[in-house]
Amino acid sequence: MPSTLSRKMGENRFVITAELAPPRGSDLTLFQRMADIVAPHVDAINVTDNQGANMRMTPLTAAALLVQKGIEPVMQLTCRDRNRLALQSDLLGAAAMGIHNILALTGDHITCGDHGQGRAVFDLDSVLLIQMIQGMNEGRDINGKPLDGKTAFFVGAAAAPEVEPFAVTRPKLVKKAAAGARFYQTQAVFDPQRLSMFCATVKPLGVKVVAGILVLRSAKMAEFINRNIPGLKIPPAIVERLAQAADPAAEGLRIAVEVALECRTTCHGVHLMAMGRDEVVPSIVAALN
C-alpha cells in the first residue's frame, strides 16, 4: 500500500494528523501557507469536504496540491454531495493524483450549512462508501465491473467514543471495519477514560484508533460548537474551565495537550482539530514528543 500513514500505523508508530479546510474561493495562498506551517510537524493533513455542509473548494484539488508539495493528505469524502458515479470518479481522480488516504464519511446534513436549499444526495452512506472503496482497491467498481487500474486507498471511518447511546453506534462500527475501514478517526474526545473503553471495545476489530483533539479558544466558542456542530459535545466541565481561565486560549491549548498526552497510551494516534488556529499545531506536537 503506497500510503505512508498506513505504513506508520502498521509499524505501530503513534501518528499525528491535523486538518485544513480548502478555501471558500479559488485562492489557495493561505491554504498553502498553513500547510507549510503544519506539515513538518504531522504525519498527514486531512483536507475537509464542504465541512459542516458549507461550500468550499473540492478537497480533491486541495489534497492533490499537498501531494505536489510532498505532503501526505487524508482526503475526506462525504456522501452528501455526490452520488455513486461522482464518488467513484472523484476517487479514481484522487488515486491518479497520488492521494492514498481517504476518510469516508456520510457527511453533515445539507440543512446544517450555508446551502440549506440544495438537494442532499446520500445515494450511499459511509458503510456503503467504504465497501465501494474496498471494491475499487480490489479492481472493480460498485457494480462489480473491472477497472482499468485499481486503487490502493488506506481507508478511515468516523467514530464517536463519547456519543450516547453508544450501543446503537456499535453495529455500524463493526460494519465499517468489515467493509474495509483500517482506522477510526474519532470525534473530539475529552474523557480519556471513555476513549480507553472505546479502544477496548473496537480492539477485536483490528482497526487503529486516531483520537480527535479539539483546540478550543474560549467558553463562547465551546458553547457555539455545542449549539451548532452536529455530533460535537463539549462537556460542561471543560466549558467551565475555559470560562474561569484568565487566558482562555492558552487554557484551550492546555486542555488539548492534556487529552493528547493521555491518548499516547490508549490509542494509535491523534488528529488535531485546531479550528483555524493551525499555528498552535507545532506546540501541541512538541508537548507530545
Give the footprint of other proteins on this chain (CB under 8 A): 80, 84, 105-106, 108-109, 111-112, 120, 122-128, 131, 142, 158, 160, 163-165, 167-169, 171-172, 174-175, 178-179, 187, 230-231, 233
What distance in Å separates the CA atoms of residue 47 and residue 25, rounded to the nearest whole number?
15
- Closest distance of CB 71 from other proteins, Å: 26
> Considering beta carbons, is residue 227 or 289 the nearer one to other proteins?
227
- Closest distance of CB 125 from other proteins, Å: 5
- Closest distance of CB 173 from other proteins, Å: 8
> Considering beta carbons, is residue 71 or 160 the nearer one to other proteins?
160
Q: For the CA atoms of 159, 50, 40, 93, what is the dihedral angle to 10 degrees?
A: 100
In 3D space, the residue among 77, 64, 4 whose CA is nearest the CA of residue 32 turns out to be 64
- Closest distance of CB 249 from other proteins, Å: 26
- Closest distance of CB 199 from other proteins, Å: 18
- Closest distance of CB 197 from other proteins, Å: 18
Helix (H) or strand (E) holding 209: strand 208-214
What distance in Å separates the CA atoms of residue 130 and residue 88, rounded to the nearest whole number?
11
DSSP state letter for 139? T
User: Which one-letter amino acid corresponds to residue 63?
Assistant: A
Please name the residues in contact with 127: beta carbons below 8 A apart, sequence gap of 6 or more. Answer: 172, 175, 176, 179
Q: In Å, how far are 77, 110, 173, 237, 285 from 198, measured between CA atoms?
A: 24, 29, 11, 21, 23
